[in-house]
Structures are given as C-alpha cells and as structure tokens.
Structure 1
C-alpha cells in the first residue's frame, strides 16, 4: 500500500511517538495488515540521535537485572535477521557490524571489578573471554600501555541508530503507515476505553488501539488516567562524535568499554570513520544542554584509555534523554485501560531491544496475547506514578 498525504482519521492502531520504538511497532503492525498511523512532529528523531548503538547484552549486564538479560539476549539473537530484513525492505545500510566488544581495566580496582563481572557473566551462561593487558593491546594496538586486562565479547555487536531510524521511517512509509507530523496533545477516552488522541492543532485521530511509545515524554500525555501514567523519567546523556581524517586507519576496530575514575565510558568506531564517545548519565530532568564539563570528562577519560584520540577532529557534541523506568526495564503491552498499550521505558537498551519490541507489540496487537518473553515487563508491575511536573525544555 502506498503512503498517502491525506491519511484517514480512523484506523486500527495509532502509535504516539516516532522514535525507533514507535517506528518498529508501527512497521510490524502494518506488516500484520493493521491500518496503522504514527503521530510525531519529527519521526525518526528522539533518543536514537544520541545513542551509540551498542548491541551489548553481555557487557551491559548489571547485577539485579537478570530478568532483563533474557529479553536483551532474545533481541540480540534476532538482530542479524532483523537488520537483513529491514535493509532488504528499504535498500538502506544500517551500519550493522558484528565486530564484538572489548571491556578493559585501567587499574587494579577496575581489573578486580571486571574479574567479578566475568564470573557473573559465566554464572549467567554468557560467553566472554578474559584477556591479559598484552592480549588486549594485541587486539587494539592504540590502547594505553597501562591497560591491566579485559573481557572479549564477540557476541556484542553494534548498529548506527541514526541509520536504523531512517530505515525504519522508510519501511513504515512503504508498508502504508500514515504519519501525522504534529504533537499528540491529549488521549481521548470514551467510557472505559482509549479511543485515540487529539493533536496539538485540534485534530482528532481515532483508533481501536493506541500505543504510547513516546520515550521519556510518555509520562506527559494529557488525558491518561493518573494511575496509568507510565513511571518514565528522562535521564540525560552527553556524547561526543569524532572523525578519522580521510585515508588514516581507524584507531579502534571494535567497541571498547571501560570504567575510568568510576565513570563508565565507551568508544564505538563506525565503518564511516566516525568514533562515538559517551556517555554521561545525569538525573537533571528535561535539560538537554551540552556542557563543557560533560565534554571535558568524556574526552579526558577517552584520552586516558586511547591517547591518540585527542588528535581527531571534533565533529559533534550532543545531549539526549533516555527513558528510564524504576527497574531500568521497558514497559510493554496493555494497560488497565482498554485500548491503551505501552512501549516505553527502554532506558539504555532501546536500540538493542528494537527487534523484540516490534515483535512483541505486533503479536499483542493482532492476538491480544502478550508473548511469554514480555510478561515480566507488563505496565501493571508498577503502581500509580505521578508525571513529572517540570516542563520539557
């Protein structure tokens, strides 16, 4: 079905939010034959513009998040076929690279922490290999001489989130998804059922089911009954993008992660020559200001890990908002209000969880049943949560 410039006002599914989670939900729903629309003033934007795109189910493992690990691994397993399908559907490159990840330690404390993480990974049935500092530098010669050791994880890959978002936008258009490039102002409810939204320009958009997938803004949609507002908050992250001069070999061949002075750090090299350095994690509400301190800390820590980084041209500094939830896991599926579903709260794993989120949401939208893998992440696991009162900048 070709995209239309004047889409109908009524459909099967209305997705509020056009970031990668909203777009993959819309694409998969349209593939299932559902008349689908997306409301977003700038679809293809959102947190993906800032994300580094690490598909790091293993090296992102955190204590207390074993339930989330299962969902992360399920999505990671789907990524090769998902990326191939999306690329075939659009003819676009996604920057998908099965390059692996190297997590390294710069001092004795970091080395002890990595050793504990390695043991935890092995107890969790994950594959990672302990390397000496010399073995780390053999893999990545530009690492600092002081690297004490590291973990090699070949199963953690990467993708370019900006290319991913652009491809999902094209895929949606080709699948017949209608786009309303405006802001959803208020959820409409008739009786005990959600019926759609009224946009900022006063247009009423009706649908059998409304999916709230607006990232960190998901808790701000007016009209949602107070007890059903998703407890999602914005978590600021700043990143720096550097570029390799033309004709020079890359500094790094795989994603490198470390903890420097207690600060988590990652460096993600792209085939295009871009090197993404991030990311801070700041609980500052809706602030998206790029700060001198944030950029300085990233470059300082990156220089300690890869000294040659200071010779690279600075291409971009940017800050974005991750949608954090109380347990750092997403909210997926139906709410207690008939017709209202959530796909939000993915925090630091939005890019990684894109394939499984699309599959989960398409399944529940077509069958009414939430797949087994998503049942630990239902919106009902949280009680009532008030929306943040501060206005977004």
Structure 2
C-alpha cells in the first residue's frame, strides 16, 4: 500500500507540474491530480516570457514578480532540457514592440516611458532600425522599441517536458478530478487548478476568455521574422510569435466570458492587425483557431501561498496572462514554502488573504521549518534529511516578518501529526474542475 504523500498538487498545467517537479526533486512524495494534463489555458497560450512588454500601469508588484521569474528562465529551461532531453522551444531573440499609425505609436510610447521609468530595458528604435532587425515589417509601421530580455517558449512542448521531469523525479500523476479539498489525502495540498480554484477554495478566480490563431508558413519553412512582435495596429493590440517549425501564434482577445467558442469577428480583427504589421502573413495557412480561459483575479495578480484557516493548503493560481512566464518562480517558491514553512518575501503581495476578511483573532504567523521530520524520512537517501532544498530559490530565514502579515494564515505545512481531522470543517459544495 502506498504511503500517504507529502504533497498533492491539484492541476497538471505548467504551474502544477513545475511545483510537482521541484517538490519531487527535493525528495518529497508527490502526487498530481488531473484528468487531462495540459489541456487548459497553457494549450492555447503563446508562451511569451515578457516581463517588460507586460509591465502595465499600476502593477508594480506583479512586474517585480514577472521580472524575477523571467530571470530564472534561462537556468530553468537548461535544467529542464538536461532532465528530459526535450527541446521546449526556448528562444531569446527578444521582442519588438511597434506602432502602425501615429496614434498607435503615441500610445505605445506612453507605455514605454512608464516601463523605462521602472528601470526596465526598453530601447526605442527608428523605423530604419526596426527594418534592419525585421525587414518583413510593413512600410507603414511608424516606429518601435526592443525589449531584448523578453523571450519565448513553446507551451505545447513545455508541458510534456515538465510532466516527464516530474515523473522522473518520482512524482505520480493520477487521472482523477478533485471535487472537494477534503477528497485529497496528503500532508500538503497545492491548488494549481487554474479557473477551477474558485470552486475548490471560494477565492475570486474567474475565467477570462482569450481567442488565439495559429498560422503556418507555406512549405513548413521558418517564418520570415525572428522576434516576437507585439504591436498596436489602428488601435488593435496584437502579438505575433514565430516558431522554428513554421508556426506563428497570433493573439489574443481578452473577454469577460466563460465560453470557448471562436467568433468570426475575433478572427477577422486578429488577422487584419497581424497582416497590417506583417503583410507576408496573408500568404500563410490558417491552421487553428482556438479559445481558452485564463484564470483571472480582481487585481490581475496571482494568488500564491497558504489559504487562511485551512492548514496544509497552499494556493498557486490566478496567473491570468502570465502562467508560463511565472512558472519558474511559482514552482521554486511554493516548493520552498512546502519544505521550510516560511514564505519568501516575494510572495507577500500575492497572499490569498488579500481577498478574505481579516481574522478578528489577529494574524497567525507562518512558522517554519515544519514538516521536516517527514521530509527526513522520505528523502534521507537523497541527502536532504531535514534541510531546505538545494535547488531553485532558497527561502529566506525569518522572512515571515517581511510578509504582509497575512491575516489568519495557518502554518503552511503541518508538523508531524498536525492535521488530525478528516479535512476542512466548513461545508463544501460538490463540483468538478478541469
């Protein structure tokens, strides 16, 4: 009979699989619950790693997290390839941000000035310099800027590689849907279920629809451009992501809808904007139209860390447009939190407690290390035995004082015998996530 797992991850998208990999690599017994791994938002996603281009007004904490995670991507990609032998389509040519008309360029420059004010690497380019980099750009393009540190990865290669890495590290994937948290039997449960986290936890995670197109260059040759291109075209925002195999991902709409239907109007707008910026795309094959549901939150930022009043339950959801770029930092920090019981200061602005009423009894500190006795039992042969993991981001000792005292946060990982009840005491409605 299998022993009780140390960690159960609910959700096998890139975030859930990344957490499973990092936890299993630390010697923990890990199971992942998902009836259809990789079938959610990541299957539709373009895979832009864009902390600069995605830095928007008023989202300072999120920009900091995006930047921290993007900085981890080179090592994360190399480690994943070494562990699996997989080519995940990680490319570093950078991103060109462009404006088609004078009004488009004025709008873009306003954002670039904000990004530069944050110290982000944005390099304005004249039209001639743009075309030196990408001759296929339309003559009408008025100007642009280079975000050299904004890269890309192919999510449809990334997710299978993460699954392989997690399983090789010892994690077990179970094709089971989780209807209620009390169905999960593990010392720690990590909810990485995307939009399904709302039904499991009651937190305000909502679906945000995005429609995306995939084109293919004639003959399957590489596209006629190398950079990711993000642009404004007559007021329409569009991105174009080239792949070595000839694919070009074109996106995306942002709609407060829960369906996954593809509309003719969205296809028309995306194609028109794409061809306005890169006329050669008119000759490409349209091979896929697809819509997915991003897990959004009221402040557009992820929900990361312990769920108040639910000992042993951690959240890693609500990544909205940023699930791919935030995979490394989420995986590292959640795995560190599982092992040490102490949240990294980077997690402070993203606590689940920000969406819950304050605990009248006052804050309960997140103490650590906890759960280390169990870790020693399961990982002694790996040489971990009661210490924090050596891979990824080390948690900062004593960082609980830095964390914005998440009101009502219980210990992230129960000590030995710490969870004695059958599960959450609050009544739960039955539901299914996928």
* Global fold match (TM > 0.5): yes
Match of 1:201?
A: none
Deviations 1:10-48 (A, max 9, x none): 211111111111111111111111111011001132211
Matches of 1:11 and 1:257, distance apart in 2: 44
Matched, 1:376 2:349: yes
Q: Which of 279, 299, 302 is the aligned partner of 2:274? A: 302
Matched, 1:276 2:276: no
Match of 1:324?
A: 296
Matched, 1:243 2:216: yes
Give the drift of 1:392: 8.4
Match of 1:367?
A: 340
Give the drift of 1:388: 12
Q: Give SS of 2:179's match.
A: strand
User: Which stretches of structure 1, 4 residues or longer, exceed 6 Å deviation after superposition?
Assistant: 387-393
Q: Which of 79, 88, 97 is the aligned partner of 2:82? A: 88
Q: Give SS of 1:11's match.
A: coil
Match of 1:290?
A: 262
Match of 2:106?
A: 112
Matches of 1:247 and 1:241, distance apart in 2: 13
Matches of 1:173 and 1:22, distance apart in 2: 13
Could you say what the CA RMSD is over the residues aligned between the two structures, in angstroms? 2.0
Give the drift of 1:383: 2.3
Matches of 1:280 and 1:63, distance apart in 2: 19
Matches within 5 A, 1:137-152: 137-152=131-146
Structure 2 residues without counterparts, runs of 5 or longer: 358-427
Matched, 1:346 2:346: no
Match of 2:30?
A: 36
> How high is the TM-score relative to the length of structure 2?
0.80
Deviations 1:78-128 (A, max 9, x none): 000000000100010010000100000011111112222222122101111
Match of 1:202?
A: none
* Alignment CA distance shift 1:308-1:390 (3 Å): farther
Q: Give SS of 1:366's match.
A: helix
Match of 1:208?
A: 187
- When you count strand as a share of all residues, which structure comes out higher? 1
Q: Give SS of 2:257's match.
A: coil
Matches of 2:355 and 2:430, distance apart in 1: 19
Give the drift of 1:351: 0.3
* Alignment CA distance shift 1:217-1:9 (3 Å): farther
Matches of 1:50 and 1:379, distance apart in 2: 26
Q: Give SS of 1:246's match.
A: helix
